[in-house]
């Protein structure tokens, strides 16, 4: 059973199809960690061009999925209700396994530090108990209408 479904996720973050890369939140410890599921299907638009005959989820979209999971972790904090989390930096991104249609991507995000409207998280995208991608992300929280 999920803690948040897609509809509830869309109430927290502004992402929508075709750039919403999560299906449900499995675990959430506010201010600490989150685990999110993304079911990767052949119907994803990016597989039309990446790559014909050899479908592989682009690494940049795996990072985007991790950033979206981090956004939920961040925006579930009372002080950030109604705000938007923006990706500020990507550190030490490593890609260790390709992600293909049929894979279930488990997005694990842990809060490292948080101060005022900024913070960092450590992330892993895991398929079949293998790390597909790991990275550190920096985020900035602001009003949705603000121009950073």
Of the candidates 24, 26, 33, 50, the residue annotated as catalytic is 50
Selected from 3.20.19.10, 3.40.50.1360, 3.10.129.10, 3.30.360.10, the CATH number assigned to the domain covering 4-143 reads 3.10.129.10
CB-based contact 64:104 (threshold 8 Å): no
* Token pair recorded at residue 72: 């939920």
pTM: 0.95
Is 108 one of the catalytic residues? no
Burial category of 114 from C-beta neighbours within 10 Å (exposed 0-12, middle 13-18, buried 19 and up): middle
What pLDDT, in 10s, does the model give residues 96-145? 999 999 999 999 999 999 999 999 999 999 999 999 999 999 999 998 77
Cα dihedral sign for 24, 59, 146, 18? negative
CB-based contact 26:3 (threshold 8 Å): yes
What pLDDT, in 10s, does the model give residues 58-92? 999 999 999 999 999 999 988 898 899 999 999 99
């Amino acid at each position: 059973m999920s803690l948040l479904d897609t509809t509830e996720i869309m109430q927290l973050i502004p992402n929508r199809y075709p750039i919403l890369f999560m299906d449900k939140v499995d675990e959430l410890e506010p201010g600490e960690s989150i685990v999110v599921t993304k079911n990767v299907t052949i119907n994803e638009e990016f597989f039309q061009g990446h790559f014909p005959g050899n479908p592989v989820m682009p690494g940049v979209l795996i990072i985007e999925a991790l950033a979206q999971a981090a956004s939920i972790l961040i925006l579930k904090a009372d002080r950030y209700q109604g705000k938007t989390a923006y990706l500020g930096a990507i550190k030490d991104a490593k890609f260790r396994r390709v992600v293909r249609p049929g894979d279930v991507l488990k997005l694990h995000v842990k809060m490292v530090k948080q101060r005022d409207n900024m913070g960092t998280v450590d992330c892993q995208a895991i398929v079949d108990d293998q790390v597909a991608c790991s990275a550190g992300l920096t985020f900035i929280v602001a009003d949705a209408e603000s121009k950073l």
